[in-house]
Every structure is written in structure tokens, then in C-alpha cells.
Amino acid sequence: MGLGEGPILKKSVDLAVRHPDINFIANDLHRIDAQDFDHYLRRIEVRYRPKNLTFATGMHAAEAVSKEAPNSLDHVYAHFLLKNMPRAEREELYTELQRAMRPRAQLKIVENKHYEKPRLRELAAHGFGVTSRPATTKEAMKLGTESAEAQAKQWAYIKATENKKLIMDKLFTPWWERVRKKLAENGETPETIELIHKEAEHNFLSHDPPFVVITATKARERKTQ
């Protein structure tokens, strides 16, 4: 199941075409426009609508997951989604995922590196086993999503620019002003906002990989005695 898949559900469509024996569910807050969808199929030279792809669009990710049976989802991914979601909604999503994912199933998250620490903390608090690793712009390009490609290009520019004063004055400062406001509106705590600020500053100034891949694993079911 792909969450927050974007306007044409690109990743889910590509996966469904490539793996006809696996069932995929694609979610986005915005309802899929059938014309855009068909246009994308034509672009990739696919002359049929994949039968193994179900839409769960026009609804929040948590609501989409809530419609799935308990212990039924084998794998879930969310690329550049969670940073847009209010904290309460993310928590609702984690609770629904704990119910709907099968034991030992994985949730794969790709995000900007500066969101890594708060995400690991909140996922662990919801009972997931968590690991993470940095990811480069090259890796993001290979992800095959529109956001990943756009983000990878921006970050490649930021990382390659030696004039860090220019980067901080022209990019970081106005960006952070917008993001700080949004984070506060989304109900993040002052401590989390400060942590993201510190990590984002490092991300803009360092040559470290700008992205993170987080793997959150649902625990194996315990036998009741």
C-alpha cells in the first residue's frame, strides 16, 4: 500500500504494471483524476488499467488504512508524506497501521534527513521496531516519484554550492520561516521544532546525504498463554 502517492499515483501504477501478481492499494488525499491517470498510462505505453491496483484516494492516509482488514497489509510505504501531516493525524495513522499491517510487515518511509529523529521516536512510541539509514540524492532519483526527483535536484544544488552564506540567506532562512509556522500549526512541540531546526541547519550546511530511509517493523504476534 502506498500512502500520499501524488496526483497520478505514479509509484503504485509503475509497481502494479511491473508486478501483475501482487495487489496494490494507492492512497492520496486528492481524488485521482481519471483523465490524468489515463494520460500517464499512455505515457508509459500501457494500454489497460491495471486490475491489481485499487484506489483509496480523496481521503487521509489514516482513513484509507482504517478500511483495510486487521493483519492484512504485507508492505506499506510513504515517500515525502509524513512531514505534511499534523501530529494528531500521524498518530492516528500509526495506530491504524499497527492494526492493519500483518505481524513483521514493514513500513518504509523516505523523508528529508532532518525529520529522522522525531519520526524514529514517534514510531517507536507506537510499538514499531525502527531502523534508519541515510540516502543520497542519487538514490532519491532512483525512487521513481515526482517529489523525490524534484527534491533530489534541489538538494544536489544545495550540497554542491560552496557559498554557504548564500544558501543560508537565500534558501534556508525563508524556507525555515514557512516550515516553522507550518510545524507549529501541525501541533509539533517546541522541542521537536527546535530539533528539526538544528538538524535542518546541518542538512543545508553539510555534505552529508540529505535523505533518510526509515524502516518501521510491526512486532511479531505474541502467543497468549
Ligand X SMILES: C[S@@+](CC[C@H](N)C(=O)[O-])C[C@H]1O[C@@H](n2cnc3c(N)ncnc32)[C@H](O)[C@@H]1O
The sign of the torsion formed by the CA atoms of 193, 115, 4, 105 equals negative
Near ligand X in 40-79, by CB under 6 A: 60-61, 79
- The correct pick among 14, 91, 139, 146 for binding ligand X (CB under 6 A) is 146
What is the rounded distance in angstroms from the CA atom of residue 44 to the CA atom of residue 81? 25
What is the rounded distance in angstroms from the CA atom of residue 191 to the CA atom of residue 195? 6
Burial of 143 (C-beta count, 10 Å sphere; 0-12/13-18/19+): buried
14 vs 146, which CB is nearer to ligand X?
A: 146
- Residue 142 Cβ vs ligand X, minimum distance, rounded to whole Å: 12
What is the rounded distance in angstroms from the CA atom of residue 37 to the CA atom of residue 44? 11
- Residue 8 Cβ vs ligand X, minimum distance, rounded to whole Å: 9
Task: Using the structure block, give the residue that is written with the C-alpha cell 528539526.
Answer: 196
- The correct pick among 80, 94, 115, 204 for binding ligand X (CB under 6 A) is 80
Note whether 154 binds ligand X by CB under 6 A: no
Near ligand X in 106-145, by CB under 6 A: 145
Note whether 90 binds ligand X by CB under 6 A: no
The residues that touch ligand X, with contacts defined as CB under 6 A, are 3-6, 27-30, 60-61, 79-81, 84-85, 89, 145-148
